[in-house]
């Protein structure tokens, strides 16, 4: 075995019962029928009623202020039924679009499951978004209901929500324990706004799961585009089949596990692996309301005796940066499997975790569009640090190129770079970009789904991430569309043109950098430019939220443009990173 491989025998797997990769692939069959009645909430929760795990803790919530609340599978079934009953009381119908703008709060989990139980469509948004990304997504997604907190509502929603024609109801998650005779009665809230806990208290705790079919829409996740508005990615109830099987294969998850997924609920991982997959498998999942904190995280791993941990490279790099000594204060012996997703995981991070945490991270790969993990360092296989791993059972992956006839073909050559593609047809494959059929169709050719990622594959079938084929930026796990950032900056009166790119960052992977050309009437003294830079950063933060706004702004007299007037982000990036400028035959005007 080469030195670049972590052979499981060398660290002595703590799990004697690992599934065999080849056997799992050979035996695999999706066995799904899109016409069959299937409901994600039933698979995740109601199916466990009247079984041995009905009263087992399904969700343990750790609040920011050290409160712990446990919800059994029965509790989740009853609470989600109450939520479905509330939707019925409002006279909404199946297909209702429910959006959330909240952190990791119990009512998020209850309303996700309740929406699916009712036959509605759930969309989580990042609560760190500013008003503009929230509004554009709710407009595109034709939101009927928003679940949020009163303070987020005041800061980001109150000013415009009445302008959205489909949006009828806002539900506040504050006051978890609220009963009908507590403080802050309805009259204190704006018209159309309600305390969710109060409605739940008065609702029926029995609601049979809607008889949805496998191909009925269940989830609408938003992802960023390079040239246009964000895209609503449609997923159907059948996706649950892939959520469940991929968690078993890629996360090695089993019913006896205590599982912690640290993903933000606004990201697809927060739904597929932060709610659906673990509940389907009957595990106990730990949900921490607080944001990343080194001591707190090690404490949770120790105190909650986490066995399976699913996190992201930015967090892992922050743990590495904190040094190895702090880890010695904690007992992490319960851990059996740790995995990472969302951005490239540096090989050093895998080696660090093996040395310092006692287990190597298993990187895996997927996208909002794929709905579930597609490629993973499989539990029973050797890990190759720096590689995303092997295609999961049921998934056919390839590196593809276009041939002379324009057809997409798999390349056989070992380690040649091309686009990563997946054979069409797995159950959690997205079924459309909402109202953008043409854009959706462009993602597929000759039976392949084209991922937009560049990668290579080695002789043992392991996939290695190379980069995005487009201009999308991955910063701390957030996929950011440059167009959205450019549009926000363009609204400032001083700005004439903007080009936005991602530049490498040691912790966040990439950070957003904006190149701005100012209007001719702007005074370009050093003092004025310094003030303007600060102002533009604040302007963008207010509109977009801190996670999306540029960290760096550079002024230029002109930006490089094609003859058709498009700013060449690729060229900005090549120049920023001292890379080859490639084909610049379409360059019309240049930066100065």
Binding site for ligand AMP (CB under 6 A): 223, 268, 341-344, 363-365, 367-368, 388, 451, 453, 465, 468, 474, 479
Token look-up 């040239």 returns 227
Least distance in angstroms from the C-beta of 223 to ligand AMP: 5
Separation between Cα atoms, residue 534 and residue 431, nearest integer Å: 42
Minimum separation from the CB atom of position 166 to ligand AMP (A): 25
Nearer to ligand AMP, 81 or 367 (CB): 367
Query: Cα dist. 86→44, 80, 169, 269, 416 in Å?
Result: 20, 10, 11, 27, 54
Shortest reach from residue 503's CB to ligand AMP, in Å = 16
> Least separation, in Å, of the C-beta of 420 and ligand AMP?
8
Nearer Cβ to ligand AMP (81/451): 451
Q: How far apart are CA 245 and CA 471, in angstroms?
A: 32
Closest to 92 in 3D by CA, of 143, 26, 49: 143
Q: At CA 362, angle to CA 356 and CA 366, rounded to 5?
A: 140
Q: How far is the CB of 468 from ligand AMP (least distance, A)?
A: 5
Between 49 and 443, CB nearer to ligand AMP: 443
Q: Round to whole Å and give the CA distance between 227 and 333.
A: 47
For residues 74 and 474, which CB has a smaller minimum distance to ligand AMP in the complex? Answer: 474
Instruction: Pick the closer one to ligand AMP by CB: 479 or 485.
Output: 479
What are the Cα distances from residue 110, in Å, to 150, 258, 395?
A: 18, 20, 31
Residues in Cβ contact with 202 at an 8 Å cutoff, skipping those fewer than 6 apart: 180
Q: What tokens appear for 59 in the block?
A: 């969700």
Comparing C-alpha atoms, which of 464, 494, 490, 499 is closest to residue 571? 499
Place of tokens 């794929």: 370
Q: At its nearest, how many Å lie between ligand AMP and the CB of residue 389?
A: 8
Q: Select 161 or 426, whichever has its Cβ closest to ligand AMP.
A: 426
- Min CB(588)–ligand AMP separation in Å: 30
Cβ closer to ligand AMP: 354 or 363?
363
CB of 355 to ligand AMP, least distance (A): 21
Angstrom distance (rounded) from CA 267 to CA 502: 19
Answer yes or no: are the C-beta atoms of 560 and 590 closer than 8 Å.
Answer: yes
CB of 519 to ligand AMP, least distance (A): 34
Measured distance CA(246)–CA(196) in Å, rounded: 33
Q: Are β-strands 418-423 and 397-402 bridged in parallel, bridged antiparallel, or unpaired?
A: antiparallel
For residue 570, the minimal CB distance to ligand AMP (Å) is 16
Of the two residues 248 and 474, which places its CB atom closer to ligand AMP in the complex?
Answer: 474
Number of residues that make up the chain:
592
Q: CA nearest 288: which of 98, 66, 557?
A: 66
Least distance between ligand AMP and beta carbon 345 (Å): 6
| Nearest-approach distance from CB 341 to ligand AMP, in angstroms | 5
Of 34 and 452, the one with the shorter C-beta distance to ligand AMP is: 452
Residue closer to ligand AMP (CB basis): 111 or 314 = 314
- Nearest partner of 31 among 308, 285, 393, judged by Cα: 393
Neighbour count for residue 317 (Cβ, 10 Å): 22
Query: Two tokens at 127?
Result: 């609560």
Neighbours of 57 (CB within 10 A): 16
Nearer to ligand AMP, 77 or 376 (CB): 376
CB of 387 to ligand AMP, least distance (A): 9
Give the C-alpha separation, 9 to 295, whole Å. 31
Smallest distance from ligand AMP to CB 479, Å: 4
Of 453 and 591, which CB lies nearer to ligand AMP in the complex structure? Answer: 453
Q: Judged by CB, which is closer to ligand AMP: 284, or 387?
A: 387
**Which residues lie below 8 Å from residue 435, measured CB to CB, with a gap of 6+?**
140, 232
Distance CA 365, CA 343 (A): 8
**Which residues share a beta bridge with 363?**
340
Could you give the CA distance from residue 138 to residue 146 in angstroms, rounded to a whole number?
Answer: 9
Q: Is 492 exposed, middle or buried (0-12, 13-18, 19+ CB in 10 A)?
A: middle
Other CB atoms within 10 Å distance of the CB of residue 516: 24
Q: Which CB atom, from 117 or from 474, has the smaller least distance to ligand AMP? A: 474
Map tokens 């390839």 to a residue. Answer: 398
Rounded to an integer, what distance in angstroms lies between the CA atom of residue 398 and that of residue 215? 26
CA distance linking residue 131 with residue 152, whole number of Å: 10
Given the complex with ligand AMP, which of 200 and 338 has the nearer CB atom?
A: 338
Q: How far is the CB of 163 from ligand AMP (least distance, A)?
A: 28
Structure tokens at 539: 């302007």
């Amino acid at each position: 075995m080469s030195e670049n491989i972590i052979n499981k025998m060398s660290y002595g797997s703590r799990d004697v019962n690992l599934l065999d990769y080849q056997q799992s692939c050979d035996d695999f069959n999706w066995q799904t029928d899109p016409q069959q009645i299937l409901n994600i909430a039933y698979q995740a929760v109601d199916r466990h009623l009247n079984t041995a795990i009905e009263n087992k803790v399904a969700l343990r919530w750790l609040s920011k202020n050290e409160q712990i609340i446990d919800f059994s599978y029965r509790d989740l079934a009853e609470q989600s039924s109450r939520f479905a009953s509330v939707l019925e009381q409002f006279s909404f119908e199946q297909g209702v679009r429910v959006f959330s703008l909240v952190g990791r709060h119990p009512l998020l989990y209850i309303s996700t499951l309740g929406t699916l139980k009712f036959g509605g469509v759930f969309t989580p948004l990042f609560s760190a978004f500013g008003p503009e990304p929230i509004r554009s997504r709710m407009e595109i997604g034709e939101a009927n209901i928003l679940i949020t907190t009163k303070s987020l509502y005041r800061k980001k929603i109150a000013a415009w929500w009445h302008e959205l024609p489909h949006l009828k109801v806002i539900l506040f998650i504050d006051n978890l324990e609220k009963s009908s005779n507590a403080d802050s009665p309805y009259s204190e809230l704006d018209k159309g706004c309600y305390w969710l806990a109060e409605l739940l208290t008065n609702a029926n705790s029995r609601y049979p799961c809607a008889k949805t079919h496998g191909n009925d829409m269940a989830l609408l996740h938003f992802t960023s585009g390079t040239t246009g508005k964000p895209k609503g990615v449609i997923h159907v109830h059948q996706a649950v089949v892939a959520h469940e099987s991929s968690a078993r294969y890629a996360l090695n998850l089993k019913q006896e596990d205590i599982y912690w997924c640290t993903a933000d609920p606004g990201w697809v991982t927060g739904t597929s692996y932060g709610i659906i997959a673990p509940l389907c498998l009957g595990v106990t999942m730990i949900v921490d309301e607080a944001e990343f904190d080194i001591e707190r995280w090690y404490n949770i791993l120790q105190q909650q005796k986490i066995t399976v941990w699913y996190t992201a490279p930015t967090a892992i790099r922050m743990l590495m940066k904190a040094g190895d000594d702090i880890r010695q204060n904690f007992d992490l012996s319960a851990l059996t499997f740790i995995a990472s997703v969302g951005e490239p995981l540096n090989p050093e991070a895998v080696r660090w975790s093996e040395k310092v945490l006692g287990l190597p991270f298993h990187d895996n790969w997927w996208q909002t569009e794929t709905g579930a993990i597609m490629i993973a360092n499989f539990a029973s296989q050797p890990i190759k640090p720096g590689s995303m791993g092997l295609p999961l059972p049921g998934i056919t992956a390839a590196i593809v190129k276009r041939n002379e006839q324009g057809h997409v073909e798999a390349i056989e050559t070992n380690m040649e770079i091309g686009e990563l593609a997946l054979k069409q047809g797995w159950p959690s494959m997205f079924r459309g970009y909402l109202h953008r059929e043409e854009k959706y169709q462009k993602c597929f050719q000759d039976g392949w789904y084209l991922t937009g990622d560049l990668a290579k594959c080695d002789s043992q079938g392991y996939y290695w991430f190379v980069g995005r084929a487009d201009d999308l930026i991955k910063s701390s796990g957030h996929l950011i569309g440059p167009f959205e950032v450019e549009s926000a900056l363009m609204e400032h009166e001083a700005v004439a043109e903007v080009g936005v790119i991602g530049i490498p960052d040691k912790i966040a992977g990439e950070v957003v950098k904006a190149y701005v050309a100012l209007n001719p009437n702007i005074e370009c003294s050093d003092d004025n430019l310094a003030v303007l830079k600060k102002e533009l950063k604040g302007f963008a933060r207010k509109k977009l939220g801190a996670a999306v706004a540029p960290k760096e702004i550079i002024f230029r007299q002109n930006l490089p443009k094609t003859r058709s007037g498009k700013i060449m982000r690729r060229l900005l990036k090549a120049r920023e990173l001292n890379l080859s400028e490639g084909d610049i035959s379409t360059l019309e005007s240049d930066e100065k």
